[in-house]
Amino acid sequence: MIKMERTCGSMRARVMYQGQDIGSMEGVYVTQWFVKNKYRFTGTFARFLTKNPHHRRCGIVVDVIFPDKGILIKQSRIDWINKPTGSGTFTAKGIESHI
């Protein structure tokens, strides 16, 4: 059984890699799914802006922080990035409250 639980989004989110702020994401949306007795978290973003171009790649694992909502999306793996626009998708391990 697949059941979509809830979604949340933010116009601008901070991106952390190994405890350091590496940039931001714009137009971020996260969906929580319940699939095969387990929660899954998927998300999309409209633009991924980084200070170092080396960090703007597929496969990197980052933490995404929604500062306006106090939400931390833990261990988000960037699955796909469209090179010209910077839009893409990610999957996450979990969501926590961040104050």
Strand partners, 42: 31, 91
The phi and psi torsions of 59 (rounded to 5 degrees) equal: 90, -15
Half-sphere exposure of 91 (CA within 13 A, CB side): 6
Strand partners, 10: 28
**Tally of structural domains, the chain:** 1
Q: What is the pLDDT along the chain (99 residues), one digit of tens a residue?
A: 566 666 788 889 999 999 899 999 999 999 888 877 888 889 999 998 888 888 888 899 999 998 888 889 999 999 999 888 888 999 999 888 866
Please give the pLDDT value at position 84.
Answer: 80
Please give the pLDDT value at position 91.
Answer: 93
pTM of the predicted model over 0.85 = no
Please give the pLDDT value at position 2.
Answer: 62
Separation of CA 87 from chain center: 12
| 58: containing domain | 2-97
With tokens 């626009």, the residue in question is 85
Contact 42/29 with Cβ under 8 angstroms? no
Q: How far is CA 86 from CA 55, 56, 82, 99, in A?
A: 12, 8, 5, 28
Please give the pLDDT value at position 57.
Answer: 86
